[in-house]
Every structure is written in C-alpha cells, then in structure tokens.
Amino acid sequence: MKVALLAATLASASAFVPQSAPKFGTSLNLKQDFLEYSPYYDHSAVKVNTFKNKAPFTGKVVSTKRIVGPKATGETCHIIIDHNGDFPYIEGQSWGVIPPGNREKDGKPHAVRLYSIASSRYGDDMTGSTGSLCVRRATYWCPELKADDPAKKGICSNFLCDTEPGAEVVMTGPAGKVMLMPEEDPTTDYIMVATGTGIAPFRGFVRRLFMEDTPAAEAYKGEAWLFLGV
C-alpha cells in the first residue's frame, strides 16, 4: 500500500491536451477530461510562473461568499475568479495576488501574496475558465481600542473578501510544484492535514477524485483521509 502524506498551513494551455474548453457558465453534461496531461498523471510539463510581477494577469471576480456562520471567530470567504481559460493551473498550485495601492512606508506597490487554489483545474463550474480561493480576513483586535485596529488589518485578505462581482484581481503564477497530488499509482492512500484555510488545496484534490468525472477519479481505488484542525 502506498501512502501520500500532504500537509498545508495558512499560508499556457498548450501544456494540456489541445481540446477547447467550454465557455464560462456552460451547463456541462460531459467528462472533465479536456485539461489533462497525457498520461493524466504526468506532471513533467506543469507550468509555473507563467505570469510574473512585471507582467501579471488580470482576472475578474465572479462571486465572493462568506462561508462561516454568524457566530464564527473571524471571517472566511470563498472567491471565484474568472480567468477565461487563459491562466491554467493544476491542483496543489497557488496564485499570487497583488492588492491595489501602495505601501505607506515607502510608496511602493504592495508585494504579492500567495494563496493556494481551492478548486480543481476545471474550476467550481467545471468549465476550465475559473479558479477559487479560500481566504480568511486578517484582522487585529486591539485590547486598548477594544475593537479591530484598521491600521493593522491584512491588506490583501481584506481586499479579496471585500470584492464584488466584476472586480479585477491582478495575479501572478501559478506557483509551486511541491504540493501536486501524486496520481501515478491509483491505489495510493492520501492523508491530508490542514489547519484553517490550509484546507484550500485539499478541496481541489477531493473535487478531482470524488466530484468530477476525471481520468484520475475513474482510476482511483485508494482511500483519502482529510484532517481539519483550527
């Protein structure tokens, strides 16, 4: 038995089989197999850093939704971004987000913040045109003010959680090949350990294996364990 232990913490389409992806919002009654490598488990051609700081990509927000209850400690949002199929990635990679504006201390643009992608390569609507992020709003409770200190809030997380449909998001990446899901052996058992929004990459793994009609899902015969601790 082969076991893959994966852990996460808070923290060009030509590479794929050349088939046309459906347009965003298309109602799908077809297999999710149009963004696969050949064979599907071969990660040797996975692209990284297609878009960089000096030449980033601009996506558009489809929706931003609070995904915790009214009494939850803090706020976590699920954000779907439309990339029109021009920003391919695979499960386990990250997007960089450049928040708008400049830093107060030196007037320079804000630095890139990395967020693990929370959807499979097909996106939540399975068209291959979107990707999702799972973002916790970063705030700081000031005991003296007895309120959140706006001067110490997270620049990028608050920008993302405040976005509305149609908002533009400047992005880099995709980043990373360390967290890619090993798929060559379909009997591999996956043990996924996450804390908080570290759940993001594993959401993509679970969707690929159990919710989508992918070659990986068709072949998979192992067990997947997901441990979430906050």
Average pLDDT per run of 10 along the chain, which is 230 residues long? 58 36 50 90 95 97 94 90 96 97 90 96 95 90 72 88 97 95 95 86 95 94 89
Closest CA to 194 of 4, 6, 3, 2: 6
Sequence-ordered list of residues with C-beta below 8 angstroms from that of 69, at least 6 positions apart, any chain: none
Q: Would you state the pLDDT for residue 198?
A: 85
Q: Would you state the pLDDT for residue 72?
A: 83
Strand pairing partners for 102? 109
The verdict on whether omega for the bond into residue 174 sits within 30 degrees of 0, i.e. cis, is yes
Q: Would you state the pLDDT for residue 216?
A: 94
Residue 132, by phi and psi: left (phi above 0), alpha (psi -120 to 50) or beta? beta
Q: Would you state the pLDDT for residue 5?
A: 61
The verdict on whether omega for the bond into residue 39 sits within 30 degrees of 0, i.e. cis, is yes
pTM higher than the cut 0.75: yes
Contact 105, 64 (CB under 8 A): no
